[in-house]
Every structure is written in structure tokens, then in C-alpha cells.
């Protein structure tokens, strides 16, 4: 029966409002529905189940169940008619489903087989392999499977459909189970291979990293964990397991020697001839294939000195030929060479002085000044041909005042005018008036009193004083204001730009700037930046006028550099051009597996090339081996974020999840004993942004493995000899051991020929820490772990301008320097000795000594805890004078000048405040009365015009005093007064 109609009388009783249908009619594969005179159509495909029939008081109700639990009812029908119609539609519905199933039979069979194979996978179920299967399952689920009823298709077809639907609904769980099954089977299958591919069987972690074959796989290979073994085994496994052909595998390294070593090792260990290449060699080959020939390489591309000399020559030529550009270049050297920070940017003297010591505040005339604002004034005077003296003795002798001799900031030699620059700013008060303020760490009342005293001196001696103020610099009118104030006294005679530039060359300031320009240029090119990008980032980072001045010079320098390249290319061009050809398809990549060594050193441009090669083939995989703990080449463009966010950068997509990848931690180190391995791990993980890894050391030791040797001034060579003698004395006479001397800088290298002659049983080598990557030795000696500009951690930080073309800076202080220290520590197999200045050890040494977790030995108690300077918050360092006496001097000697004698009782210690007491006590237990005026001084007895009295040992810098009184029946007492 193809038609079911509501009976008239029953319809009136069952459906008085006409809400339900009046007629159902089967027409081919559709059901026509008449309701309130309107006819609508539904397909059999839309039925979730065959029609059902229910008996009622007023006749039968036929129900059509749709997807989404929607129902269409026809009330008031004869039960027999409704039953017959239901059977007819059911039969049509089953036929419809079976026909639909038959149309997709081949597709279903293939899909079912692929899903069934996931229970016993014969290849790694990578996201890129399983995603097409999942996409097909999801498409079938939406178009067909979700609409099929098991009753309509039979049990065998229903089981097939159910398996496919289950996979579509639970793809992640099924893929994870498949991966686990495959890995277990494969590890057992290739056990003999893993046992014999290297001289020692691979560890469980190494085997796992070889078998895992995700879209992107990151092997976290800590220092000495056998990363080369992993890459060798991976390449051999891919070929031997017939996963890839040799020419489908790309082995990439960063250095020529590393690539050559990798090629030799792969072939020697596995018999598989796979040639490893550097990124530049690969890029050069790609360019040659696309363009038909390889463009010549610029002469300076492989010669850093030639590159910097080219930049210097470009600067010189621009000064001589382009007026606007020459003016910008001179303005840079005169006013923007250093960061424009003043004391107002700091909250303590110590922080401000530390900043000043990292800068070279040297004027165009050649002297060093004490602030950025003084530098501006001095260079303006020089630019305008006004001869001056910096901090000369005042021409009149001032009567004894307890002060140091008066030395004004500047004296103009021709006019005799003095210039004093005062570090004060204006603060508006609620009543509208203003008052002068000093920097946060400066005593305002004392400073303002000093200003008045200087004015009074000039007034009394009738000398001309011109005053400038920090608030003028803050308001952007310091130099304009100075020009107006000097107008009655001097005539400006501006020097030619080329003369000033010659002076810059003479001061070697052009060398530093050329280095900055060269580094910026290379990073600018390799990162694919534009000047607009730099402008936008400068504005975002609020780098201000200095950034504008730099970019105004860089733009013409870069344009001229590109012009002088002519038809040649540099290394930055190589990578970017090759990446472009891969991205646009002009180069067709044959590679299905890309294996990258030292992945922590990858830059944005190299990452772009890797992504382009990988992106050409949906089945291509990336296998990266690296250690973010050893990422120490940010200055050369490496971007640690590419490793930290490896998944989002290189991972695949599966089941709606992006960034799909696998990370394997090798864990075991074959190099360092437990004390060194664990200490290095603890040290580097102080930075929470580093990827945490477990470490299994190469062995254990009960002897101290990390030692710190504190070295007195000028005794570095003797101390080094002592350490080498100790090592040599402990080895068997017939043996030799390797000793690696490490330094943060090249200039720290000692006389190696002399050392080798003196210690013939030691194989001694020197390397900078950066050059020591991949090396190891029985014993490592780390030299000059001191504080200072060329200390370790290095305080010669990258110029902030480089952040315009660099990965985002890390928030953790000394993040990269901490990784440099990790690299140094993990070169050692058995012992690590760090040599640090007794008077100025680095913050790293202080940390290693103060934290028991590092278990270091060899530093005397208290040696790494210098006293704090009460004047500025820096450190008081013990120094021995020519007279043999020890004094304690502030580390910021050029700025602070705090100087204290050693304890007069023991001649070595420094009296300090004991907890809860007002007196000062030395470590020899001698106690002294505290100076009432300063934090560090104590009172000592002196003789004066009116007899004995007590005064501060820091006199005349500090004028703290006290009277001496006596009591007839008691000891001498003090009456302190300021």
C-alpha cells in the first residue's frame, strides 16, 4: 500500500485542530505529506527508522521518525491500513539503504580494511597517514553511515559500518592504540639491529626515538646522550625497513665538519650511502637546479672581517657623498651610540652604576663622562667647535670645607665659562607650584644644597656659570637650551662631517657600530624583515628616538650593501631564495624524511626552508634532534622558540587538533658523572621556560666532582698551574688524560705551549664555550668566571636595537648565559673546576656556592659573599695595595668611591653590623663604635686642635664625629654628634 489517508470522522476526533498530517504517500524514494492543504516531501534517506504504528481510541497513529528525533504524525487512520503502509515504506527504506550501501561498497571495503589494519599496523600510524582515512570515515559518516539502520542492512554490513563509525567517533584513542602496538612490535622486530648499529647497544629511549615516526618528531638529546647515534640509526632504519629510499632522505647539519662526520658515520655503521648537507649547501643546490647555474658567492660571505670592513667603507663613503645621510650618521655617533638611559630610569645607585659600566660613555673628544646627559653636552660642544675641559680643577682654591676639591662639569677654554649639569626634574604640586626632584636613590636635600653651594662659589669668585638640567633633557630641549644660554659667550663653528667621522674612526667607535650594523643586517635579511616591520616593532617596544636614528642610518647602508652585492649572493640570500623556490613549487622536493641535527640552533629562515620542503609532500616527516638547554647562538639568529613550540611550528593535524607531534627524551648521558650531570640540570632548569628532561648519569662518584677555586688578583696563571698539577699528580704515570680549558671569550686563552710543556701527561686544549659544543674531556677547567662587562655571565648584552630583528627576548634574567654555563659544565666527564676572582666572583659562582643542591667543593666559607656597599648597594671588594695593606673598595670605583680600611686589629677583615647591635664587629671579634653619619664607617680616635676626638675612618668623604668624655669612676665614653 503506497498511500495512507486519515479517516474523516476519526480524523475529526483524533486531530480536531488539524495539527497532524492528513495523507502519507510513498512516491519512489520520497514520502509525500499532505497537511492543511499543503504538500511537503521527505526522502527515505531522512528516515531514522521505518514508520511505526500505535493503536488509539480514535484509530491508529502512523509515525515517521526523522533524524534529530523529529517526528511527523498521521492520526485517525484505520489500523490495518496504517500497518500495511508501514510495511511498504519499511521495505522501500531497506532497499534504499542497501542500494546506498552498494554504491559505496568499494569505498567501504577499502576504508574498513584500513581501519582494521590499525589493530596490527605495518607502518607507523602518523597523523599525516591516518588523517585521510579519518576524513573519508567522517565524510561517509555524514553522508551515509549515520543514516543506515543495522536492521536495514543486515548483521555483516552492520558490523562493518559500526567499526567505521567507531573510528570516526574515537579516532585519537584508536590511533594511540595503533601506535603502541606498532612500536612494541617494531622494537622487537629490529632488536638485533639496535643491538649492533653502534659499538654499544642503543638505549631504550634511543630505540624508541628511531621507531617513532610522527609528522614531526623531536628528540630531546641532552649533553652526551648519543644524539649522533640516534640520527645514524634513524637514517639506516628508514632504508633497511624499506620505509624510504636513500634519495628520499635529507640529512641536515649546521656545519661542514658535522655534515661530513654524519655522512661517514651513517655509511660506516649501516652501509647506507646518504650524504648529509649543511643548510647552505642544500640551498645553493636548490638555487642551481631552479636557475640553471649557481650565482657567485660574495667575497665577504665567508670572511667576517671582510664583511665588517665593507660596512665601515660604506659608512665612510656615505658620509662623503650624501649630505642628509652623513648628518644622520654623525648624529648617531654624537648622541645615540649608547642607550639614552639616565639615573631616572633606575631605582638604586647599584643598578645605575652597573648600567653605566656596561656602556662606553666616551665623548668625541675622547674622555669618559659620568652620565648620558653629560655625553650629550660634551658631544654637542665638540660638534660645534667649542673647546672645553671636562671636570677641570676650579680656577680658585676653595677654603677648607670638608668637601673634595671642586671640579665643575665643564669649562670652555676660550671664554672661561663653566657649565654645571644638574640632575633635577620638575614636579608639579597640587597647588600649581613646582619643586625640583632628584632621582629615587639621590638625597634630595643634600643634592639641592650642593647646587646652592656651587652657585655661591661662582658668585663669590665672579666666574660665569651656565646651568643645564635633567628636566630639559626630559622635555627634549637640553641642547637647544644650552645653545641659547651660551649664545652671549661663544660663537659656534660646526666641524665638517668628514672631520668628525675621522675622529670617530680614531676612537674606534666606528668598529663597534659597524659590528652592530653588520649583525643587524644579517638578522634583518635572514628573518625576512622589512623597514616597516622594524618601525612597527620599535613603536611597540617604545625604543624611541635612538631606534629612529639607527634605522635612518641602516636604511641607506642596507641599500648600498645590496647594490654592492651586484649579481652575487650572501648566505642569507641563499636560504631565503631557496625557501621561496620551495614555497612556490619551482623546486620540487624529492624528500619524504628530513632529519635535522642540532635543532636548537635553527633560525627563522632555516625553519622556513624546512617547512617549505615538508609542506610539498603530505606524507613528509620531520625528525629533529636537539637540546634547548644548549641553545646558545641567539646572536647568530637561532630562535629557541622554534624548539619550545615545536608542535605548533612543525606538527601535523589530526581529529581537529593541530600541532600533532611526538617528543622523545633520551635522558641518559654517556659523559658526565652524577654530581656534574645533576648539578648542570638543576642549574639550567632555574629558568622555568626550559623544557624539563630527566637525566640518567654516566656513573656515580663519591669524590667532589665540581670544585670552585677562588683566585686572588694577578694570580690566575699560578692558580691554573696548581689545578693542572693536582690533576697530573693523580693519574698513573703511564696514562694521559684529556683536559679542556674553557673560556667565555677568545682572549682568555693562556699560553698553551708552555702549559703542555709543563704537564706532558695532560692532553690540554683551549676552546671558547661556544666552540666547545660537541666536545668532551676527562677534566674541564672553566676560566675567569668573574663579574664585569667581560665576565660570565657576560654583561656586554646585545644592543636593544637587535631586538627589532630578533626572536622575542626571554623574560628570565641571563637565560642564554645560563645555557652557556650548562654547555660548559657538561663538557666534563669526571671533574669540573671553576676559577673565579676572589674579589669579584660572578653571580653564577655565588649561586653555585650558596645552594647546597649543587654540592660544590673548594671555596672557603664566605669567600663568595662580598660585603654590600652602604653607599650604593654594590659589593665591597678586598684589594691589596702597594703597601701590602688590605682595603675594601666598592666595585663601582669610578662612580661610588667608597673605600674602607681593613680591621686595624687583624688587618684582613671588615667590621660589619652584627645582628641586633649598634656596633660594628670584625670576624676577628673586635668591636668598633658605629659612625653616626654613614652605614659602613666606624669611629677611630684622632687628635685635633682641641684634643682627642672620634671621627669616621672614611674621613674626609664622611664627616661623622663624636666627642670623647670620661667619667671619674668609669671608662671613656662617647658622645656622638653629627
Binding residues: 221-228
DSSP state letter for 118: T
Residues 316 and 586 sit within 8 Å (Cβ to Cβ): no
Question: Which of 286, 261, 118, 124 lies closest to 190 in space, CA to CA?
Answer: 124
Cell numbers for 755: 702549559
**Binding site residue list for ATP:** 221-228
Alpha-carbon distance of 542 to 213, in angstroms, equals 45
Q: How far is CA 929 from the centre of its chain?
A: 50
- Measured N-to-C along each axis, helices 497-506 and 509-526 cross at an angle, to the nearest 10 degrees, of 90
- Write down the H helix ranges in 343-440: 349-358, 372-383
Backbone angles phi, psi at 25, to 5 degrees: -140, 125
The greatest distance separating any two alpha carbons of the chain, rounded to the nearest whole angstrom, comes to 136
Contacts of 439 (CB under 8 A, 6+ apart): 342, 343, 344, 346, 352, 423
Measured between alpha carbons, how far is residue 808 from residues 542, 650, 684 in Å?
Answer: 15, 19, 20
Helix (H) or strand (E) holding 5: strand 3-5
Alpha-carbon distance of 654 to 175, in angstroms, equals 10
Measured between alpha carbons, how far is residue 498 from residues 16, 255, 319, 326 in Å?
Answer: 105, 41, 6, 8
Question: Which of 966, 934, 964 lies closest to 952 in space, CA to CA?
Answer: 934
Question: Which of 859, 905, 869 lies closest to 889 in space, CA to CA?
Answer: 869
Residues 678 and 854 sit within 8 Å (Cβ to Cβ): no
Cell 657576560 -> residue: 794
Give a three-class secondary structure readout of 871-930: CCCCEEEEEECCCCCEEEEECCCCCCCCEEECCCCCCCCCCEECCCCCCEECCCCCEECE
Alpha-carbon distance of 32 to 34, in angstroms, equals 7
Backbone angles phi, psi at 629, to 5 degrees: -70, -20
Cell 631616572 -> residue: 344
- Partnered with residue 743 across adjacent β-strands are 768
Dihedral angle sign, alpha carbons of residues 596, 597, 599, 603? negative
Cell numbers for 839: 674579589
- Partnered with residue 781 across adjacent β-strands are 741, 833
Please classify residue 432 by burial: count the beta carbons closer than 10 Å to its beta carbon, then call 0-12 exposed, 13-18 middle and 19+ buried. Answer: exposed
Question: Which of 398, 389, 392 lies closest to 460 in space, CA to CA?
Answer: 398
Helix (H) or strand (E) holding 42: strand 38-43
- Write down the H helix ranges in 104-226: 105-117, 127-143, 150-153, 155-169, 171-189, 191-196, 204-211
Alpha-carbon distance of 711 to 713, in angstroms, equals 7
Contacts of 841 (CB under 8 A, 6+ apart): 710, 785, 786, 787, 863, 864, 866
Measured between alpha carbons, how far is residue 114 from residues 128, 131, 162, 180, 769 in Å?
Answer: 14, 12, 14, 17, 52
Contacts of 687 (CB under 8 A, 6+ apart): 810, 812, 815, 818
Residues 666 and 691 sit within 8 Å (Cβ to Cβ): no
Cell 693542572 -> residue: 724
Amino acid at each position: 500500500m503506497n498511500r495512507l489517508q486519515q479517516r474523516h470522522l476519526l480524523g475529526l476526533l483524533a486531530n480536531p485542530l488539524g495539527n497532524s498530517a492528513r495523507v502519507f504517500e510513498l512516491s519512489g524514494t520520497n514520502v509525500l505529506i499532505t497537511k492543511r492543504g499543503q504538500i511537503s516531501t521527505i526522502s527515505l534517506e531522512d528516515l531514522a527508522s521505518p514508520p511505526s504504528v500505535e493503536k488509539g481510541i480514535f484509530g491508529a497513529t502512523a509515525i515517521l521518525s526523522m533524524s534529530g528525533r523529529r517526528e511527523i504524525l498521521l492520526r485517525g487512520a484505520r489500523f490495518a491500513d496504517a500497518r500495511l503502509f508501514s510495511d511498504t515504506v519499511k521495505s522501500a527504506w531497506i532497499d534504499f539503504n542497501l542500494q546506498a550501501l552498494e554504491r559505496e561498497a568499494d569505498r567501504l571495503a577499502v576504508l574498513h580494511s584500513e581501519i582494521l589494519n590499525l589493530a596490527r599496523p605495518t607502518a607507523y600510524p602518523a597523523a599525516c597517514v591516518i588523517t585521510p582515512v579519518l576524513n573519508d570515515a567522517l565524510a561517509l559518516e555524514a553522508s551515509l553511515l549515520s543514516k543506515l539502520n543495522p536492521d536495514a542492512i543486515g548483521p555483516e554490513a552492520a558490523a562493518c559500518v559500526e567499526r567505521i563509525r567507531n573510528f570516526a567517533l574515537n579516532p585519537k584513542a584508536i590511533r594511540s592504540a595503533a601506535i603502541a602496538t606498532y612500536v612494541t612490535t617494531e622494537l622487537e622486530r629490529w632488536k638485533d639491529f639496535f643491538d649492533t648499529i653502534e659499538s654499544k647497544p642503543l638505549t631504550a629511549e634511543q630505540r624508541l626515538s628511531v621507531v617513532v615516526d610522527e609528522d614531526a618528531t623531536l628528540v630531546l638529546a641532552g649533553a652526551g646522550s648519543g644524539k649522533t647515534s640516534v640520527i645514524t640509526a634513524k637514517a639506516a632504519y628508514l632504508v633497511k625497513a624499506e620505509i624510504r629510499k636513500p634519495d628520499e632522505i635529507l640529512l641536515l647539519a649546521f656545519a661542514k665538519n658535522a655534515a661530513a662526520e654524519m655522512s661517514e658515520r651513517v655509511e660506516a655503521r649501516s652501509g647506507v650511502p646518504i650524504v648529509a648537507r649543511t643548510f647552505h649547501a642544500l640551498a645553493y643546490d636548490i638555487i642551481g637546479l631552479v636557475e640553471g647555474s649557481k650565482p657567485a658567492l660574495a667575497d665577504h660571505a665567508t670572511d667576517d672581517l671582510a664583511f665588517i670592513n665593507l660596512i665601515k667603507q660604506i659608512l665612510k663613503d656615505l658620509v662623503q657623498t650624501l649630505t642628509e645621510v652623513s648628518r644622520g650618521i654623525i648624529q648617531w655617533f654624537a648622541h645615540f651610540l649608547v642607550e639614552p638611559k639616565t639615573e631616572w630610569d633606575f631605582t638604586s645607585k647599584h643598578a645605575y652604576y652597573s648600567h653605566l659600566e656596561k656602556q662606553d660613555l666616551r665623548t668625541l673628544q675622547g674622555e669618559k663622562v659620568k652620565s648620558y646627559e653629560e655625553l650629550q653636552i660634551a658631544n654637542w660642544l665638540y660638534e660645534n667647535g667649542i673647546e672645553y675641559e671636562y671636570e677641570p680643577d676650579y680656577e680658585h682654591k676653595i677654603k677648607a670645607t670638608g668637601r673634595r676639591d671642586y671640579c665643575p662639569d665643564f669649562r670652555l677654554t676660550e671664554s672661561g665659562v663653566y657649565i654645571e649639569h644638574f640632575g633635577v626634574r620638575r614636579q608639579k604640586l597640587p597647588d600649581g607650584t613646582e619643586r625640583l626632584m632628584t632621582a629615587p636613590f639621590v638625597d634630595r636635600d643634600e643634592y639641592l644644597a650642593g647646587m646652592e653651594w656651587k652657585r655661591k662659589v661662582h658668585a663669590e669668585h665672579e666666574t660665569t656659570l651656565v646651568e643645564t638640567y635633567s628636566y630639559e633633557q626630559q622635555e627634549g630641549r637640553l641642547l637647544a637650551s644650552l645653545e641659547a644660554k651660551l649664545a652671549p659667550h661663544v660663537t659656534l663653528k660646526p666641524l665638517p662631517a668628514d672631520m668628525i667621522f675621522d675622529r670617530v674612526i680614531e676612537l674606534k667607535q666606528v668598529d663597534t657600530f659597524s659590528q652592530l650594523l653588520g649583525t643587524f643586517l644579517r638578522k634583518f635579511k635572514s628573518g625576512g624583515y622589512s623597514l616597516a616591520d622594524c618601525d612597527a616593532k620599535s613603536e611597540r617596544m617604545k625604543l624611541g628616538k635612538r631606534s629612529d636614528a639607527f634605522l635612518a642610518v641602516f636604511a641607506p647602508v642596507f641599500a648600498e650593501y645590496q647594490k654592492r652585492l651586484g649579481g652575487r649572493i650572501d648566505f642569507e640570500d641563499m636560504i631565503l631564495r631557496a625557501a621561496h623556490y620551495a614555497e612556490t613549487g619551482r623546486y620540487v622536493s624529492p624528500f619524504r624524511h628530513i632529519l635535522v641535527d642540532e635543532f636548537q640552533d635553527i633560525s627563522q629562515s632555516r625553519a622556513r626552508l624546512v617547512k617549505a620542503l615538508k609542506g610539498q609532500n603530505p606524507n613528509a616527516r620531520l625528525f629533529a634532534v636537539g637540546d634547548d638547554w644548549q641553545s646558545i647562538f641567539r646572536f647568530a639568529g637561532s630562535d629557541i622558540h622554534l624548539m619550545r613550540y615545536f608542535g605548533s611550528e612543525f606538527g601535523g593535524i589530526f581529529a581537529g587538533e593541530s600541532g600533532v607531534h611526538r617528543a622523545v627524551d633520551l635522558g641518559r648521558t654517556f659523559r658526565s658523572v652524577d654530581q656534574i650531570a645533576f648539578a648542570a640540570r638543576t642549574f639550567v632548569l632555574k629558568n622555568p621556560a626550559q623544557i624539563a628532561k630527566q637525566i640518567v648519569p654516566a656513573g656515580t662518584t663519591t669524590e667532589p666532582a665540581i670544585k670552585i677555586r677562588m683566585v686572588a688578583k694577578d694570580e690566575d696563571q699560578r692558580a691554573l698551574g696548581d689545578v693542572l698539577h693536582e690533576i697530573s699528580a693523580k693519574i698513573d704515570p703511564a696514562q694521559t688524560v684529556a683536559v679542556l680549558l674553557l673560556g667565555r671569550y677568545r682572549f682568555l686563552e693562556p699560553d698553551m705551549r708552555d702549559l703542555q710543556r709543563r704537564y706532558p701527561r695532560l692532553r690540554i686544549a683551549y676552546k671558547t664555550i661556544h666552540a666547545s659544543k660537541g666536545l668532551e674531556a676527562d677534566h674541564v677547567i672553566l676560566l675567569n668566571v668573574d663579574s664585569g662587562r667581560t665576565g660570565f655571565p657576560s654583561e656586554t648584552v646585545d644592543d636593544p636595537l637587535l631586538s627589532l630583528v630578533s626572536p622575542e627576548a626571554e623574560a628570565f634574567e641571563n637565560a642564554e648565559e645560563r645555557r652557556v654555563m650548562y654547555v660548559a659544565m657538561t663538557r666534563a666527564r669526571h671533574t669540573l673546576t671553576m676559577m673565579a676572582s676572589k674579589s669579584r666572583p660572578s653571580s653564577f659562582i655565588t649561586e653555585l656556592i650558596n645552594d647546597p643542591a649543587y654540592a660544590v667543593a673548594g671555596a672557603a666559607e664566605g669567600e663568595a659573599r662580598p660585603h654590600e656597599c652602604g653607599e650604593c648597594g654594590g659589593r665591597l671588594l678586598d684589594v691589596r695595595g702597594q703597601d701590602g695593606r688590605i682595603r675594601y673598595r666598592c666595585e663601582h670605583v669610578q662612580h661610588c668611591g667608597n673605600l674602607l680600611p681593613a680591621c686595624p686589629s687583624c688587618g684582613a677583615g671588615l667590621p660589619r653590623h652584627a645582628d641586633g647591635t649598634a656596633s660594628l664587629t670584625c670576624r676577628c671579634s673586635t668591636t668598633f663604635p658605629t659612625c653616626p653619619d654613614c652605614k659602613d664607617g666606624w669611629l677611630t680616635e684622632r687628635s685635633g686642635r682641641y684634643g682627642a676626638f672620634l671621627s669616621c675612618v672614611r674621613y674626609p668623604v664622611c664627616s661623622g664625629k663624636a666627642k670623647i668624655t670620661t667619667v671619674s669612676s668609669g671608662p671613656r665614653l662617647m658622645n656622638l654628634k653629627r
